Amino acid sequence: MLSMRLDLFSDVADLTAAIVDIESVSGAEGPLADAVEEALRALPHLAVERDGNNVIARTDLGRAERVVLAGHLDTVPLNGNLPSRMEGDRLYGCGTTDMKSGVAVALRLAATVPEPTRDITYVFYECEEIEAERNGLRRLAATRPDLLVGDFAVLMEPTGAHIEGGCQGTMRVEVTAKGERAHSARAWMGSNAIHTAGQILDVLRAYEPTRPVVDGLEYHEGLNAVFIHGGVAGNVIPDECVVTVNYRFAPDKSLAEAEAYLREVFDGFEVKVTDAASAARPGLTHPAAAAFVSSVASGGTEVRAKLGWTDVARFSELGVPAVNYGPGEPTLAHTRDEYVEMPLIADCEARMRAWLS
């Protein structure tokens, strides 16, 4: 049986493998959270709290700034990819890139940087890979926002060791075309809603993505149909057709502005918002964020916009500027052959250690 104990003073590559080998599919993070909590409580310079399967550890050195390092403990369901295995410089296994390598970096820093130049809050949280209602960081933001207070936050999401500022917002809407039922043998007596929905698709085909620049980073918006549903029976002219549209918008828009934009684009059709999450500004002009970029971004490291949604938005809602930065390669996330490059883990650790020291 695999040991459930973590040695935070071991090499970061070995620590990553040990974390990966503790299975933690969303909703079943308990054993990994237990191991993380036990390892952190052994460190006298940290105050540790447990909230469900969230583990929070803090320094309290009276520094002028506090930064938050956060990472989720859960993974998507297994796909024959545990236990982990090494092949050359690659560690394969579920969660290697998303995002147990980032968690390993944060745990190593928690153990080996006892007197950082900034106070640090380490947040290891549950249920990021499933519905938002169960997200551990969301729960902390709602019930214990005091634990997430900081001047700046780094979410250890996979970025290939590049800095990705803020994140895009996302909104899903149902755009409904109406018609009138009739027998298909007498179609002229009705109005075909599926045919009318072609106008919605025409709008989407004609859409030209905007590329807003926010805090010096260029985002790339997107507007796409992701579902379409209509029809009553094989001999009935349908009276309704619903096109579900996903809008990915830059952080220069609020949720209200994104909704207003979609209602304008689909003027004349019924528009219903079914899901939405705010965007997050990068906040790279904040002194703490600028210091991070100055320290970490060198030797080919890019500073770019996050083209997607991540939990940095939760920090943004609390007034904490945040970036995504981690060793994993995002295009490998959730794949059966997910892996992480071991040198990148060590590089991320070294760069963040320099920043915090």
In the residue annotation, 74 being an active-site residue is answered as yes
User: Residue 283: which pLDDT band, with cuts at 50, 70 and 90?
Assistant: confident
Q: How confident is the model over 233-255, as pLDDT tens digits?
A: 999 999 999 999 999 999 999 99
Average pLDDT value for the chain: 95
pTM of the complete model = 0.86
pLDDT of residue 1: 35
Q: Which of 74, 164, 221, 329 is catalytic?
A: 74
| SS3 of 87-107 | ECCEEECCCHHHHHHHHHHHH
Structure tokens at 69: 């390092």
Could you give the CA distance from residue 296 to residue 103 in angstroms, rounded to a whole number?
18
Q: Are strands 152-155 and 322-324 parallel, antiparallel or unpaired?
A: parallel
- Are the beta carbons of 324 and 306 closer than 8 angstroms? yes
Q: How confident is the model over 52-87, as pLDDT tens digits?
A: 999 999 999 999 999 999 999 999 999 999 999 999
State yes or no: pLDDT of 181 exceeds 80.
yes
Mean pLDDT of 137-146: 96
In the residue annotation, 128 being an active-site residue is answered as yes
Q: Which of 21, 37, 98, 128 is catalytic?
A: 128
Could you give the CA distance from residue 281 to residue 166 in angstroms, rounded to a whole number?
5
All structural domains of the chain? 12-167+280-356 (3.40.630.10), 169-277 (3.30.70.360)
State yes or no: pLDDT of 48 exceeds 50.
yes
Mean pLDDT of 188-204: 98
